[in-house]
Every structure is written in C-alpha cells, then in structure tokens.
Structure 1
Amino acid sequence: MAKRSAQRWVPVLLSLIGGALLWAAWPTSPLTFLIFIAFIPLLRLADTVESTGKYYGCIYLSLFIWNAGSTWWVGNTTVPVSGLAANLINTTVMSVPLLGYYRIRKRLGTTASYFALIVYWITFEYVHLNWEFSWPWLSLGNAFAMHPSWIQWYEYTGVSGGTLWVLLCNISIYHAWLLRKRYPVPISTFIWKTGWIPAAIIILPLLLSSLVQYTFKTPEGPSTPVVIVQPNIDPYDKFAENNASMQLDKLLQLSKQKTDSQTAYIIWPETALFTNGAWENNLATEGSTQSIHYFLQQYPKATLISGAITLKHYGKPDEIPYTARSMDDNSSYDVFNSAVQIDTSGTVQVYHKYKLVPGVEMVPYARYMFFMKYLALDMGGITGSYGRTPDENILTSTNKHIKVSAAICYESVYGEYVAEHVRMGANLLFIITNDGWWGNTEGHRQHLQYARLRAIETRRWVARSANTGVSCIIDPMGRIQQPLPYWKEGVIKGNVTPGYILTFYVKYGDLISKAASAFCILLIIYSYYLRFRQKKIS
C-alpha cells in the first residue's frame, strides 16, 4: 500500500524536477549544462502517465516553475499581477507542443514521437516569435547566451539551432537510459553500442564552435569611435512633465566627458529625448534638437542616435492605421517609440520600433477588438498602444558610409528581425534600451546576454546604451567589452568596426524553423488522416 501511494507522487516529483532543472539552467545561472537533461523528466512523464488530463497538469506545473522562476521579474512593476498573468499565459501556450508529443506517442510510437517533439517545439518557438502575443524570451537556444564559445555556429543556424541541440541531447540521453534499463549489459558494451550517441551529440557542436571560432576573422577596415551614455535616470520619474530639460542637460554633459574630434557616434538610450512626445514634422526645429545641433557643432564628425517618443499626424482618412488615436478636432495621430539620428546637417532621421512588448506597448490584435487598444499597461510616459507604422529601417550616415540598425529594447531578442536589417545593409548594430522598469532583477541581465547572440548571428559589432545599465560594447564573437554596472551613471568610449560580410543566417534566415513548420503541418495532416481512417474502419 505504501509503495502504491508513493508511486502516485512520482509524476508530481518529475514535474518539480523538470521545472527546477529548466529554471536552474537559464541565464544568468552558471548551471547552463543542466539544459541537456532538463527535458528528461517531461519525457518520462509521457511514458508513465496514462491520463491526458493528469499529464497536462504535470507538464503545466513544470513549465510554470520554469516561467515563474526565470521571468518572475515581469511582474516587478506598478501592476504586479501582470507578471502572474504573463507567466500563466505563456505556460499555457508552451504546453501545446508537449501535448502534441504525448498524443503522437500514444498513436505512432517512440521514434515518430521524438521527431514530433522536435518539430512541434521548434514550430511553437517560431510562431511565438512572430505573432502578436510574442514572447521569445524562453526560446531554448537562448540558454547558451552566456557561453558564446559554445555556439559560434549560430552564424549558420540562429537560436533555433540551439533549440534543436537541446532537444536532441535530451532525447538521446533519455533514450540511451531507457535502453540501458531494459537491456542491462556491461558498461563497456553499452558505451560501444549506445552511450556514444548522446556524448557525440553534445561534443560535436562544441568542437564545431571551436573550429568556427578559430577560423573566424573579425571585420577589417577603419574603426568607428563611439561614445555610449548611461544616464541612470529612474524610469518611473523620467516622464515627469518638468524633467525633460534637466535630463537633456545631463545627457549632453555626460556626452561631453568623452566626445572628441574623432567621435563618429554618440549613443543615448531608449526614450531619452522628447519624453512627452514631439511631432515628427517639426523635429528639426524642436528646442532639444537645436540644443543637440549646437552641441554637435563642437564635434563636426559626430552623429547622435537616441531613443525618443515621436508623434505623427494623419491628415487623410485612408492613411490612418488601426493604432491611431483621436484628437479633439477629430483628426488622428500615432505615438511611436522611436530612434532618431541627428547630425550637423540639420536633418533628423526617424526609425519606429516595430517589435512592441505585448501588454505594455501594445494590445495584441487590437485591430480586431478596437475597444481594447488603450489597455496597454501604464509604465510611465504616454499610455496606450504605440504605433507600428514603419519608417526608416536603417539610419544612414552618407559621409561615413555607415548604416546603423538601431534595435529598440525588446527588438534585440528577435534574431531574424535584426538579421533582416543587416541584409538591408546595416553594418553596425546599436541597441538602445531602458531596462530599469523591472529593477535590479534577472530581466536586465538576461536582456544583456541575449544581445551577444545577435552579434554572433550577424557578425556585427554591437554598441549597447541602456538607461540604467548594463551598457557595453560587444564584438562579433559575442564577447562583452567595457560593461557599465547596473544603476550607475557613466560613459563608454570605444571603437567598433563596420562589417560587410553576410553570414549564412543573415542571407537565408531561420531555415531550421521553417523546415520544422513544414513538417509540423504534414504531421498534423497525417494524424488527422489516421484518425479519419480509424473511424472509417470502425
């Protein structure tokens, strides 16, 4: 009786272990290697739990532990319940590929189910990367962000290659354990026949990474001097109505500390300018812009790139997007989280952030539920959903032959999006962000680590300006240089070199995810065909 009672708790124990392993393996934990076995408890659940409902409850518990443990900080805002809601929703979405794996295992057996798990999970991550409920923070390939020397081959596969690696390792180790359990043979025989397979799956990508790293050549050519400013302004205070001029003075004073006659770019963080919004058709004549122009006259080679909040007015009804807001005169306008480029020529280039944070900067699919578009979480500044109308994709400096992709905050998590800008001609990557909303938590540290993946995928230098930290420079191999500590005011002076070679990943995109999506569709069609045939026979 006691043994039977203990057996009933085994699935719960497996759920707890699986969730704990996934949490412990996630950046910025030093236990990354645990990701190679973290899915094994979930695989075991599929083999031991007979009830679909019980299996779903077990995997939900495991995935929730992973979500809550790794991203609990999303609730460290003025609305703490938002974090719990985000974790619950993401757990629900994450459970779908595991349910698909469980069903295939019951119908088609072991080999087909392992293939289905890989295909379903990678497809899930790809969908989660591209729909409006997007939250790719926990894509499995992100787990290796702290170890760029392990994943130099991301220049070919992107993050989905890391996801494939994780799943293959877990499946091969688990399958080897099952064979060892069923057919107890001497350890030497086991290693010779089976045990070498998971070892090879783990070791070969590491060797490949070493080879790529050994043969890689950093971009050659004239270096570009940059100055990166970290003003350390509390994000919950920076949008106060009377603070804009004081913040501008602080940014200019900090910039002056290390700007010289050779400086090519000065980089300020997200929403550093026009905190209460400025009309795009008047940006060149704004008081802040004029102050910057006056400052840049002292450094004629310098160009400023800064985060800003900009406003765009729509005069014609047929050009009004669904994100637009109404004015008192019944006309419409949009608010954008933007990056602006200002130089001594008097022109201002504007880039609009496109990858917006669900629930904070936009309400997903609000165009189908128009009444919900103002429900975005208020975290200071102008509330409601931001606009998504594209403007400049690349910020171009014609006299320097330099094209910059200015990824704003959350956009730096999207490998294909950044790669698309490099394909358009960007030879430098600037990341401007404001990570202080979530305090001194894993949020800003994880975000920093993910930036290293973009450097490897595109082989571009990255200059990162974060309002409260961590600001730094990242080389094309993903190594961090001159990091400024969190919650510390400071300035970085360094050099970056424009790159012109396009990696395989930049040229062709995420081929692994696209192939997995195609196989996923075929598997779903085939499973429905089998169900239809069985009904017809019965």
Structure 2
Amino acid sequence: MDVFQVEPWQANFKFHPKIALIGLVRTANRLSLHIVFKITSTMQLKNLFKSNFFLMLLSGLLLALPWYEGLPSYTIFFGFVPLFVSYYRLVEQKAGFWKIIGYVYLSFFTWNILSTWWIYNATAIGAILAVVLTALLMTMVFSIYHFIHINTSKAIGAFAFITFWIAWEQFFHNSEITWPWLTLGNSLGNHPMVIQWYEYTGVLGGSLWILVVNFFILSQITAYRERVYGRIAWFFSDVLLFFAIPFAISLYIYFNHEEKGEKVNVLVVQPNIDPYNEKFSGLTNEQQMDIMLSLAEESIDSTIRYVVCPETAIDDRIWEHQLADNESVKRLKAFVDRHLGVMWITGLVSLKLYEPNETVSHTARKLPYDERYYYDRYNSAIQVDTLFNLPIYHKSKLVVGVEMMPYPQYLKFLEKLSIDLGGITGSLGTQPDRGVFRSTDGKYGVGPIICYESVFGEYVAGYVQNGANLLFVITNDGWWGDTPGYRQHLSFSRIRAIEMRRSIARSANTGISAIINQRGEVIDSLGWWKRGVIKGSLYANNATTYYARHGDYIGNISAFMALLSLAYGISRYLMGRKKREL
C-alpha cells in the first residue's frame, strides 16, 4: 500500500488561497523543470553551461531534490558544484561583490523555496521569512568564504567554506532562532543504509561528507578547465576514496548490527483529528478522548506496555497542580487500571501557576483576572500509569514565531506578533533538562520528544544521557497538509534512531506514525490522513553511542577551524593592503 497516496478527502476542498498557491508552486516547479529540459534539448549544452544564471538555478535544484522522497538524493553530493563553477568564473571576470552575492543568493533561494515551500500551508509569513532569511544567512556564510578565497587560495577557501558551513549549521541548531531543517546531513535521512556511522558523528558528519565530496568533484572540473590533466586521475581517486570508504563502513555496520535490549510492545495511536477544523474548534476534548480511547481499547492486549498518543492530544489547558483532578487524565487512569502494566504517554497543554512571591520565568504572563499571579503555558507530555505520579515534561525546543519569540527577556512585546495556529501561541515556557519517564517497574526510561525537538540530534542525546532507553516522538504535522513537510519530519526521526541506537515509536496526529528500529528502518507505519493504530515491538537499549556521549563535536571543531581560517584570511588581506600602500 502506498502510504503517500492521495486521499478522497482532498478532492472535497473548496477554493482557498493557500491551496491555490500550493498548486501554483507545484505547477511552477514542473514548468521550470520542463523549461530546463526544453532548453537543454534545443541549445548546445556547452553554451547553456556558460550561463551563470542557469548554473545557479541548477545548483539550487540539485540541492533541493534530496528533500523529496522518491527523487534522487545523490544529487546532494554534487549540488554545490554548478554554483562554484559559476563563482570561479565570476571571480575570473572580476565581477563586483554584489553581482556575485546576487547570483549566490539566487541559488540558495531556489534551494530553500523548492524544499520548504510547504510551510505556507501553516503560515504565509512564516514561509516567506524561513525561505528569505535562511537563504540570506547561507549567502552571508558564502560572503565570508568569498573574502577568504580572494585573499588566500582555492584550497584554503574550500577549507574555510566547509568549516564555516558546518559551524553555521551548528549555530542554527543551538541559537535562540533555530531552523536546522536544511542541514545537509538531513538529506540522507531516507537512506539509513548509507549513514550508519552517524552513531559516531551525528548529522554534521553527514554534512562534512557531502561538502568534501562536492569539493573533490569541483577540483576535478577545475583541473580539466585548467588543463592540468595529471591531477585529474589523482583527484578522481580521492573522490572515490572519500565517497566509497564512508559508504562501505556504513554497509558493514548495517549488516552487522543487531537490535539490543529487552523487547517492549507498544501501541501507537493516530487519531487523525483535523487541526484546522476539529482539533481546536470542531470537536470537544471529550469527543477527542473518545476517539483515542476507543482506538486503544479495540487493539490493546496483555503484551502491550505502552500506549502512545500525539502532541497536544489533551487540550484541556490543565493547571499542573490540578492534573490528578482533570477529567481527561482520570479517564486515562481508568484505562491503565483496567489494563494492568500499561503506561499511557500523551501530549497535552498545561499551565503552571506562580505564587505571588515566587520567582517567575521570562515567558510568564499575568493572570487576566488576578494580576497578583503569573502563569506559564507549556506544550507538554505526560505519563499516566497505575502509580499515578503523573511525571510531566515541557517541550523546550520551540518553533520560532509560533511557540516562542526570540529573547523573551528583551523582546517580550513581540509576543503579540506570534502566529496563531489554534491551540497554544505566544512564548511558551521551557525546562532546562531533558525529562525521562520511568516505567512502573523501573526497567524502561522513555524520552518524550515533542514535534520540532526531533530535528535536534544533540538535544535528543540529552534524553539518552539522562537514562532513556526508548524514544517516543509525539507530533502534529497536520498543519502542513499533504506535502513533503511531514515526510521530511519523519526522516529526521530515522536519523535520531541511528545516532542514539534507540528504537522509536512515533505518534503523529494525522500521520505518518511509525515504529523505527535502531538501524533507522521504518518497521511499520500508518500513512497520511488515516485513523488507526500500530502495534509494534521496540528494544530498550541501555548502551550509549559515541555521538550520544559527545554531541556535535564536529560542529565545535569546525567553528574553531573556521575562526582560524578567517584570521588567516584577514592577515593576508592586511598584508596585501600594506604592500599596495608601499
């Protein structure tokens, strides 16, 4: 069965500007591809590749293809090549800085809009900002490379680009404004067989691999253009070496890996509640609980230890000091009492009340009906079991512009500009540590990863460091519609499984829910816009990978080396200026 097939519900939509724009973008994508191939067939290929405009567009297209499941992902290994061929030509022609930067921005803009246009389904402003600003930041990285390149050499420039790019990816993982979606290593998420060594390097190791292969291919082309034929065979062997060795290592790990840990049976619930028309308006909280409890009750058996439900599955806006008295929580307690040994993990919207003399967080706000009190709102996860201790975890990697505004201690007034997707908006509260839910017998520890948090490898490592031997991803990807967005998001969970060597149960409100093994393979899944459950087995692995222990060390080393290359570039620039003055 094709989990990505078009469903009948999609044909029943009335005209909507967002849907019209999505159709327009898809049509434009197809038209652009048609034009490219039409031009290629009617012009001499040699003349076509003399066009800087074409090369920059081609680079953007090659970099975007891996973000579409079913399209060739290997283009990421030479996606930068047309861009740099055009750049070298522009430098040789002594083109001005802004002309060069304009062409480079075109390439990165093409990559971004073709890969992440689907954000528009949730928010037009968010989509525009994500595409325009991410392309701008990529171009800023390139401008630093340009400065170093023109003041040093191609080799040093290449080293600088690789280190600065990875350092920038690292920054985008950890800054207040985070958007690491297009991290190069993420492009291989649907090909776990070739990235098994991510357990040692993390996703930034994939970025390093991709960039190194791009530059070795570029060196082949440069040697050919400069007619230095003796270097071609040497560089060609290097390309094979740097591509083949990581690939062979991954295959070796893949075929020799065995699932580690004790077997744990789980039941993943996919309620398929429309986030636009049902989740926060059309259905009551009681009706939504009816759906999830009914799905679980129909499929539960004596072997199941965990039931997993998606992000914000309980939207009662529960005061945390009154959790045990909430009707939805009571219904879950009744369920686990009927099925002894079962633990129910679900998302919910929770509120924390601060006492008048208690220190409040930067995200706290006054109670509208009693200004003596402050409160925080959270996108949370909770475990309900027979012990009824109700451990709770607060999502702490938040979506900029929806769940948080950057630097709330300084820019709290910007909360009014938050995008309202229904449910919870404005700057939400967070917590400093990665909470782990312990099983009633103490044998299992679950890392409750909420939605966007699954994009961050080093962040997820915090759960493992705190004792998680299982990982659950709970999310609601329905905001994006039937687009590449939710498929890309699923692929990141596959990467996390490899990095941590943890089995993952993924509950997505509208799909794709999945069981993922420690090799990053999707063992079972429930596709888009389907209501149902998945029964599967996970393995509670207590071993810790090198990456889980050390995090994004490649990013830290790259940042240091990038600063060294910048310092060298500046020194060469100053020496050159001094010589010119003499």
- Whether these two folds match at TM > 0.5 is yes
Counterpart residue number, 1:138: 182
Residues 1:91 and 2:135 aligned together: yes
Counterpart residue number, 1:38: 79
Q: 1:167 aligns with which of 194, 203, 211?
A: 211
RMSD: 1.9
What is the letter of the counterpart of residue 521 of structure 1?
Answer: L
Counterpart residue number, 2:289: 248
Q: 1:351 aligns with which of 374, 384, 393?
A: 393
Distance in 2, matches of 1:525 and 1:318, equals 47
Q: What do residues 108-133 of structure 1 show as CA deviations (whole Å, max 9, x unaligned)?
A: 01110010011110001000111121
What is the letter of the counterpart of residue 15 of structure 1?
Answer: M
- 1:209 Cα deviation (Å)? 0.5
Distance in 2, matches of 1:477 and 1:422, equals 16
- 1:491 Cα deviation (Å)? 0.5
Q: What do residues 337-381 of structure 1 show as CA deviations (whole Å, max 9, x unaligned)?
A: 000011111221100000001111111123211211232210001
- 1:400 Cα deviation (Å)? 4.2
What is the letter of the counterpart of residue 402 of structure 1?
Answer: Y
- 1:395 Cα deviation (Å)? 1.1
Counterpart residue number, 2:412: 370
Distance in 2, matches of 1:251 and 1:23, equals 37
Counterpart residue number, 1:294: 334
- Alpha-carbon contact 1:431-1:463 (below 8 Å) kept: yes
Counterpart residue number, 2:112: 67
Distance in 1, matches of 2:404 and 2:427, equals 4
- Alpha-carbon contact 1:352-1:390 (below 8 Å) kept: no
- Alpha-carbon contact 1:428-1:499 (below 8 Å) kept: yes
Distance in 2, matches of 1:405 and 1:428, equals 6
What is the letter of the counterpart of residue 153 of structure 1?
Answer: W
Counterpart residue number, 1:484: 526
Distance in 2, matches of 1:370 and 1:53, equals 36
Counterpart residue number, 1:277: 317
- 1:160 Cα deviation (Å)? 0.6
| Matches for 1:487-498 after TM superposition, within 5 Å | 487-498=529-540
Residues 1:445 and 2:487 aligned together: yes
- 1:259 Cα deviation (Å)? 1.2
**Residues 193 and 91 (structure 1 numbering): CA distance in 2 closer, same or farther, change over 3 Å?**
closer
Q: 2:545 aligns with which of 476, 488, 503?
A: 503
Distance in 1, matches of 2:357 and 2:404, equals 22
Distance in 2, matches of 1:383 and 1:515, equals 37
Q: 1:393 aligns with which of 432, 435, 450?
A: 435
Distance in 1, matches of 2:172 and 2:110, equals 19
- 1:523 Cα deviation (Å)? 2.4
**Residues 525 and 184 (structure 1 numbering): CA distance in 2 closer, same or farther, change over 3 Å?**
closer
Residues 1:410 and 2:452 aligned together: yes
What is the letter of the counterpart of residue 524 of structure 1?
Answer: L
**Residues 133 and 72 (structure 1 numbering): CA distance in 2 closer, same or farther, change over 3 Å?**
same
Residues 1:225 and 2:265 aligned together: yes
Counterpart residue number, 2:6: none
- Alpha-carbon contact 2:446-2:469 (below 8 Å) kept: yes
Distance in 2, matches of 1:39 and 1:231, equals 42
SS at match of 2:527: coil
Q: 1:309 aligns with which of 329, 349, 362?
A: 349
Counterpart residue number, 2:305: 264
| Matches for 1:14-53 after TM superposition, within 5 Å | 14-49=55-90, 50-53=95-98
- 1:532 Cα deviation (Å)? 4.2
Counterpart residue number, 1:177: 221
Structure 1 unpaired stretches of 5+ = none
What is the letter of the counterpart of residue 457 of structure 1?
Answer: E
Residues 1:420 and 2:462 aligned together: yes
Residues 1:104 and 2:104 aligned together: no
TM-score, normalised with respect to structure 1: 0.95
What is the letter of the counterpart of residue 88 of structure 1?
Answer: V
**Residues 191 and 536 (structure 1 numbering): CA distance in 2 closer, same or farther, change over 3 Å?**
closer
Distance in 1, matches of 2:360 and 2:416, equals 16
Distance in 2, matches of 1:25 and 1:267, equals 30
- 1:276 Cα deviation (Å)? 3.9
Q: 2:251 aligns with which of 210, 215, 222?
A: 210
SS at match of 2:338: coil
- Alpha-carbon contact 1:456-1:476 (below 8 Å) kept: yes
- Alpha-carbon contact 1:27-1:143 (below 8 Å) kept: no
- 1:30 Cα deviation (Å)? 2.5
- Alpha-carbon contact 1:471-1:483 (below 8 Å) kept: yes
- 1:424 Cα deviation (Å)? 1.4
Counterpart residue number, 2:554: 512
Greater alpha carbon shift after TM alignment, 163-172 vs 50-59: 50-59
Q: What do residues 179-225 of structure 1 show as CA deviations (whole Å, max 9, x unaligned)?
A: 1222264xxx666433211122111111010111233222043x111
- Alpha-carbon contact 1:46-1:102 (below 8 Å) kept: no
What is the letter of the counterpart of residue 63 of structure 1?
Answer: F
What is the letter of the counterpart of residue 377 of structure 1?
Answer: I
Residues 1:198 and 2:242 aligned together: no
SS at match of 2:525: coil
SS at match of 1:155: helix
Distance in 2, matches of 1:408 and 1:491, equals 19
**Residues 11 and 406 (structure 1 numbering): CA distance in 2 closer, same or farther, change over 3 Å?**
same
- 1:283 Cα deviation (Å)? 0.4
SS at match of 1:341: strand
- 1:23 Cα deviation (Å)? 1.2
TM-score, normalised with respect to structure 2: 0.88
Q: What do residues 457-514 of structure 1 show as CA deviations (whole Å, max 9, x unaligned)?
A: 0000000000000001000001001110100001111111100111111111112111
SS at match of 2:417: coil
Greater alpha carbon shift after TM alignment, 316-325 vs 31-40: 316-325
Distance in 1, matches of 2:321 and 2:574, equals 60
What is the letter of the counterpart of residue 37 of structure 1?
Answer: F
- Alpha-carbon contact 1:455-1:474 (below 8 Å) kept: yes
Q: What do residues 32-60 of structure 1 show as CA deviations (whole Å, max 9, x unaligned)?
A: 01111100012123211222101111111
| Matches for 1:310-329 after TM superposition, within 5 Å | 310-317=350-357, 319-327=359-367, 328-329=369-370
Q: 2:383 aligns with which of 310, 331, 341?
A: 341
What is the letter of the counterpart of residue 355 of structure 2?
Answer: G
| % same residue | 38
Distance in 1, matches of 2:414 and 2:437, equals 33
**Residues 334 and 507 (structure 1 numbering): CA distance in 2 closer, same or farther, change over 3 Å?**
same
Counterpart residue number, 2:199: 155
What is the letter of the counterpart of residue 486 of structure 2?
Answer: H
- 1:252 Cα deviation (Å)? 0.4
SS at match of 1:406: strand
SS at match of 1:336: strand
SS at match of 1:240: coil
- Alpha-carbon contact 1:276-1:382 (below 8 Å) kept: no
Residues 1:55 and 2:97 aligned together: no
- Alpha-carbon contact 1:374-1:383 (below 8 Å) kept: no
**Residues 535 and 436 (structure 1 numbering): CA distance in 2 closer, same or farther, change over 3 Å?**
same
**Residues 117 and 184 (structure 1 numbering): CA distance in 2 closer, same or farther, change over 3 Å?**
closer
